[in-house]
Structure 1
């Protein structure tokens, strides 16, 4: 019996020693260093000059230091615009009064802003050529932006006689007012195209059965493959959507008002 036990122990020990040990688990290989490069692309449109109509009648001569009262009963004038109009009149050597009699009344009849047909901006060749421009020009040849048309009209009335001594009207669209190009950015980025394939291979080779099989044979983890991918455009500069274009309202009103007041001839 003792002999049998010795033989059995020897057999088990030998089997344990000679049984193949599973290979070490595979680790995910390090990803290659991915490159990225950024570019800019510009879009422009044609600009129109402001439309201005100004007529001054000779019935009453407007002279320096005469008084003017600004009335905006027919238009919604902000406090900021009211001050800007007042400052413009003062620059013309007229005195603005808020109460009491005055020589003239400046009546603001119209302050309008209406959305019109969108403006199309055309892609512009870059100053420094780059290889991806032709592809961008094909994918994004134009940018279409919301557009506002602004109009301002005023009358200068002689208080004593009620005569209109001057009237003017000006208008401009937001694209012609802003004038600056739209600037967009995009990037060319390297990405790993077979990351799932590599991860699946490593996972499969780390099963118990696969590790035992790898004890007697080597395997090669698939190499990472990279491809170049172009991102979509991101706007950096210029108003385009309705919210951005609407934000130009105060400046457009001031610009159009200043043009008109500058047309008043003061002797």
Structure 2
């Protein structure tokens, strides 16, 4: 009996020695540091100077401190623009009045604003182009922006004689008025494209069967693969859509009006 117990104990120890120990479980590899960076693109267009035509006739001299009444029956003149034009006349040493016995009458004949063909803005190459600038430039070569064409015309009439003393007209488009480049930003973000593949490989290699099979073997864990993804463009500055361009119109009308009044020769 004692011999039988000893024999069984020896057989048990032999079985423990013979049993193979599985390889250690594989750990998930560390993920790489993913890059995220913001870039800017600038777009620009050609500009034109305002077109101005001004003619002053010699029949009557316009003299400092003479009075001028402003009439705008043919044009929709806002209170703000009326005040600005009045100030421009005051700066020319002419007195604005609402009375009918003024020396002159300034008639605002035209204050026209109309949307015209969109303005094309071309991409401007940075001084230090980033590595994929060519790719982005091919994808976004131009930007198109709403454009307003503004026209203002006036005439100055001698009240007593009814003679036209001066008449003028000016015009400009909104892109040439504000002259701002368009600035856009976009992001470059790196993403791992094979994370599920790596997870599946680790999971499969950590099964009991796989751990036994790879005992004493070198296992190559798949490396993470990354891909750079570019976001869409986001506008940072520069008016472009119709709402933004329409907001410029009061300043455009004042600008053109100021140019014209400055052309009046006052002695």
Q: TM-score, normalised by structure 1?
A: 0.81
Deviation at 1:195, TM superposition (A): 3.2
Report the secondary structure of 2:176's partner residue. helix
Change (3 A) 1:131 1:220: closer
What does 1:20-31 align with in structure 2 at a 5 Å threshold?
A: 31=31
Deviation at 1:187, TM superposition (A): 2.4
Residue in 2 that maps onto 1:163: 163
Asked if residue 181 in structure 1 is aligned to residue 181 in structure 2, the reply is: yes
Residue in 2 that maps onto 1:51: 51
Deviation at 1:29, TM superposition (A): 6.2
Asked if residue 88 in structure 1 is aligned to residue 74 in structure 2, the reply is: no
Report the secondary structure of 2:128's partner residue. coil
Residue in 1 that maps onto 2:109: 109
What does 1:147-162 align with in structure 2 at a 5 Å threshold?
A: 147-162=147-162
After superposition, give the CA deviation of every residue in 1:143-173 in whole Å (9 maximum; x if it has no partner). 1111111000111111112221111110011
After superposition, give the CA deviation of every residue in 1:63-115 in whole Å (9 maximum; x if it has no partner). 00011111111111112111111110000000111234211111111111111
Gaps of 5+ in 2: 1-11, 17-22
Matched length: 250
CA distance in 2, matches of 1:194, 1:78: 63
Deviation at 1:232, TM superposition (A): 2.1
Change (3 A) 1:25 1:101: farther
2:116–2:147 contact (8 Å) kept in structure 1: yes
CA distance in 2, matches of 1:109, 1:24: 91
2:110–2:152 contact (8 Å) kept in structure 1: yes
1:24–1:211 contact (8 Å) kept in structure 2: no
> Which stretch has the larger CA shift, 223-232 or 58-67?
223-232
CA RMSD of aligned residues (A): 2.9
Asked if residue 230 in structure 1 is aligned to residue 230 in structure 2, the reply is: yes
